[in-house]
Structure 1
């Protein structure tokens, strides 16, 4: 994979924070590296990106991000192998999805070389920040928001693109207990559920908090119309194993086209696992739990890769899932992470060396 080389200006931080970081005990997304990439859209075009010291932003109170919510983001990771080589996982998919989100939110699309060249330049500068503790990685957050000003309800005329890094440990530990949601909806037909728009996640927080108060860790979202079909698990795509068949919902206006989701489908097929991409009813899940054919449920996303579900609740009844010695979740997670950390052959061409 080749990208056009851009002349990116670099302003280095006067001092580094890296010596203050305990890389053996990293929480997720709370420690940030010394630098960030910033690129501005003004007068109808994206300007050349710059790398500057990580710092707060100054925005006008009338910046449209505060009023009309034009904000999108991506989530990625960089990995370091035993030889200290740095790897990305399907980065062009993230770039393309960022622009899919941009188009839906009336944000100018970002040229691919701005994304890739800017990311690579920043990674080369911050290489020492990539942790090597098992399960750890450098979390990458590219995002775009409306920085243009004015109270008029219309798209902004200026935008800011930033890439920031956060060395992080494992996102989740252990299994989770989820509640199937029947009142609130994550997204609707014709909406922005397929985009990684900030407002999608803001809207999840309240119903998720209600579930937490009931003793659950997360919510399983159902369709907005009948609440008959399960669609996502919190901020992750969801997979269900009934007997030996792995099932996930098809993407739509409401469901994010997850990169981890796509990878799981390809690896499962490569493993000879029967895969179905179809609608999954809540009643099917409940009946499968009752008759013992429901073997596994798990969420899939960049941060956690795969997060096994230990139990789910529906209409005041909890259903426990069996403890399996050879689960699809563990098999698939190992296959993906072995590719990401350059521990195994990458027959799919997903790995990108920085």
Structure 2
């Protein structure tokens, strides 16, 4: 399949940012991957080319009806100078699941994985040094047919861009403050909450802005029907340690099935922790805190990995979790997953994909 991949290397390489000044998603590497789709020809013209703007017709359907899906992965350099990605096969399967829900064409995951690996290999000098740094990989697909009319597009563009990144939250592994959102809704069952599409994130921006003006790092979303059951935190799945048990909201159709979420559940089960996937109300959570049973809370996601939650606010009510400090379990999970990602621990689950 890789014989179908054309490569055009850039003659104008960019300066690389300092590893301690990266932020998240501010810089982009020298190359990108593109392939095109039409109903007549399927996926074709797969190529790695210099990073740069793309031409898009003003009537491209993505601009009017939002047919778009994306993923997020990371590449790391191990102490043995190998380059690895963490569970990219699961990300690409989720991409295809998103495509199915959004009436978009699926991709050959093996070919795309090989193409991403080649792209990362070409731009490997952009993998930054630093414990919390990585090369972020953003695959995405957009509807490009120039047409107006609400229906599935007949033309698409699939692309992959790379970005050297630091910690997603300025706090890093330090606890974040979370605002429980009661007015706005992210998703409902039967909608698109369980797929990674841009509309889910656009609908959350307003609530996030309001939360930040009040001094919070992120919002905790409640269910769209009764506004009482916990779903997820901003761009992360969420876990709670209550009286020794680990509880995370069940995947009921409005929550993104996170790759890091799945990894955390597996590790916790390996360590002998009881993990319960079920609906949990915000009232139950605050009650557990009042009884002294809420021991830890943390978010999980590709960008932040593990993000401890130090406090939750619901209206005028505020609870502090784990003394406002990073809990022992949160720290252990963060240390273990980042060590697995960087090849510093034995990979008993074969989660690492070797690029070179």
- Partners of 1:46 and 1:96 in 2: CA distance: 17
2:156 to 156, 159, 162: 159
Question: Quick check: 2:36–2:157 contact (8 Å CA) kept in 1?
Answer: yes
CA offsets, 1:70-89, max 9 Å, x none? 01000000000122210011
Alpha-carbon distance, 1:184 to partner: 1.5
Query: Which sits farther off after the overlay, 124-133 or 188-197?
Result: 124-133
Cross-structure match for 2:289: 289
1:346 counterpart = 2:347: yes
- Partners of 1:252 and 1:114 in 2: CA distance: 31
- Partners of 2:247 and 2:156 in 1: CA distance: 39
What RMSD, in angstroms, separates the aligned Cα atoms of the two structures? 1.3
Cross-structure match for 1:203: 203
Cross-structure match for 2:337: 336
SS of the residue 1:336 aligns to: helix
- Partners of 2:167 and 2:183 in 1: CA distance: 31
Query: What is the TM-score with the length of structure 2 in the denominator?
Result: 0.95
Question: Quick check: 2:175–2:326 contact (8 Å CA) kept in 1?
Answer: no
- Partners of 1:325 and 1:235 in 2: CA distance: 19
SS of the residue 2:53 aligns to: coil
After superposition, the Cα gap between the structure-2 partners of 1:20 and 1:315, relative to the gap in structure 1 and judged at 3 Å, is closer
Question: Quick check: 1:142–1:164 contact (8 Å CA) kept in 2?
Answer: yes
1:27 to 11, 23, 31: 23
Cross-structure match for 1:102: 99
- Partners of 1:94 and 1:66 in 2: CA distance: 25
Cross-structure match for 2:67: 70
After superposition, the Cα gap between the structure-2 partners of 1:265 and 1:296, relative to the gap in structure 1 and judged at 3 Å, is same
Question: Quick check: 1:212–1:218 contact (8 Å CA) kept in 2?
Answer: yes
SS of the residue 1:265 aligns to: helix
Alpha-carbon distance, 1:274 to partner: 1.8
SS of the residue 1:221 aligns to: strand
1:51 to 48, 53, 70: 48
Query: What is the TM-score with the length of structure 1 in the denominator?
Result: 0.96
CA offsets, 1:87-141, max 9 Å, x none? 0111110110000000111111111133112101101111111112111100000
Question: Quick check: 1:90–1:351 contact (8 Å CA) kept in 2?
Answer: yes
Cross-structure match for 1:177: 177
Query: Which sits farther off after the overlay, 67-76 or 40-49?
Result: 40-49
After superposition, the Cα gap between the structure-2 partners of 1:235 and 1:325, relative to the gap in structure 1 and judged at 3 Å, is closer
- Partners of 1:117 and 1:203 in 2: CA distance: 33
Question: Quick check: 2:229–2:282 contact (8 Å CA) kept in 1?
Answer: yes
- Partners of 1:44 and 1:305 in 2: CA distance: 39
- Partners of 1:82 and 1:331 in 2: CA distance: 20
1:84 counterpart = 2:85: no
SS of the residue 2:24 aligns to: coil
- Partners of 2:51 and 2:177 in 1: CA distance: 37
- Partners of 1:130 and 1:252 in 2: CA distance: 37
Aligned length, in residue pairs: 350
Alpha-carbon distance, 1:329 to partner: 0.7
Query: Which sits farther off after the overlay, 50-59 or 20-29?
Result: 20-29
SS of the residue 1:47 aligns to: strand
What does 1:94-133 correspond to in 2, within 5 Å? 94-133=91-130
Alpha-carbon distance, 1:214 to partner: 2.3
Alpha-carbon distance, 1:5 to partner: 3.4
Alpha-carbon distance, 1:20 to partner: 4.0
SS of the residue 1:232 aligns to: strand
- Partners of 1:44 and 1:233 in 2: CA distance: 40
- Partners of 1:278 and 1:252 in 2: CA distance: 9
What does 1:260-279 correspond to in 2, within 5 Å? 260-279=260-279
- Partners of 1:200 and 1:326 in 2: CA distance: 30
Q: Where do 5+ consecutive residues of structure 1 fail to align?
A: none
Cross-structure match for 2:134: 137
Moved over 4 A (4+): none
1:320 counterpart = 2:346: no
Question: Quick check: 1:81–1:132 contact (8 Å CA) kept in 2?
Answer: no
